[in-house]
Structure 1
Amino acid sequence: MNSGAGTGSGRTFHLGSRGIVRLAWARRLGLPDLAFSDDGGRLLGCRDSAFSLTAVELFGQLALSGPTELVEAAADLADDELLAGGALLRLVGHGAHGLSTGVLGFVDDLPVLQPDAEPEVSRGNPEAIELETLCPPDDVSSAGIERREHRFTLMLPDGPAACAAYTVREGLIADLGVLVAPTLRRRGLGTLMARLAAHEALAEGYLVQLEAQAQNVGALKLADALGVVPSGRIASVQLRHT
């Protein structure tokens, strides 16, 4: 796992941007603003009102967040065991559902690549919703387009082809999701729209984050094509509340 600046072509994530990522995630997990650090140990965020049990590794440091009883029970388990997700499921027991595991990547700059032709892009909700109806439910859930306010949908003569969308977290990070119509995949359309949305977010002063689900090969390839630098892992289990 590369936790520093990118080394591949087009990859850029400067060491100075780590602090912004750490601050955003500390706030999201209910930790003190400066909890993450280069020489810090495991972090525990106890929040009894939490609706999930989450393990996040950023730049080699692991944090746990969730109800106090569950966080304390997980505190001594190995990082890899927690981030694989199975340990979280066992700890939560019969109240667990919605296990998600993934790789977290970030980018703070992107080279400008001009497409051969100016794409027709919609920022409206109906077009993004229409695209979702063309895609398998698992893909729709993974991309999370409906959860992200800023949407950019590529329109072709036959209708919507691909959408990249982001939501701003903690006022610091643009969390990006991408969805492509199944019949139009492997043509670079997802990368095209991801770049467009990422440039928009960077222009607004945000860092860009992409969470690629561990089992989603397409999302991992997209992250690589976009130049996103993998810098962390996440595993989360939703808690049933009655």
Structure 2
Amino acid sequence: MADRKSSSGVGSRQTVKRKERAENEAKKEEKPKEGVKPPKEGEKAEVNGKKEPVENGEAGVENGANGEKPEPMELPPFEIITGDRIDPFFYKFQFKNVEYSSGRNKTFLCYLVDPGSDGLLRGYLEDEHAGAHAEEAFFQQVLPNYDPACKYTITWYMSSSPCAACAGKLAEILKARKNVRLAIFSARLFDWEEPEIQAGLKALAAAGCKLRMMKPLDFTYTWDTFVENDEEPFTPWEDCQENYEYYQDKLADILQ
């Protein structure tokens, strides 16, 4: 797979800006304000029973100075980013299995593919705001030349579980390609309370996909396998095991 698209000066500046945004979000989540209830995946923060806007393309104030609602910020259209190793800061921020998700408006997908021949494929995909999601892009960029005669064993480690649309597309792919075996291990559940999300995950499991939340050992494995760690060992964050158990219980309830 190609390295991260940052060889040019423009790419480098974009990487720095993305890291600065992630750092700012990470600082905000360290100490929640008194009276602020952290939102679940895909929700807005709640302050004293009222919904507050968050920084996913929305203005920070509900009404402007003249009582007019500010125009929403437009997010730049990035392409799918591919590579072999993830920046360690991005990994720790995007894969953190917290219940709230401020600033985590993208998906990181680390993959292992055993095609039965020609060796193991390894790498990652990162989707940015616009265009195809990482799940769909995987079959377009990593496995564009599908061979019905091969047996594919595919393992994904994802920062967030698939949305309803992606779950539906994956279920159709697995039904059509009986020689593909897919296992998805997710750090967080995306909008797990929404009926369409639950239906999508059920359909995905019914199509033969193995679904499980990432355990602390999975984070250690992905850190060693997919991250530019400079041989630094992975240190689990606080509540990593507890958050895994919380999400695994929710997933089990959905799939029962």
Higher share of residues assigned strand: 1
Common fold by TM > 0.5: no
- Normalized against structure 1, the TM-score is what? 0.29
Query: Higher RCO, 1 or 2 (CA under 8 Å, sep at least 6)?
Result: 1
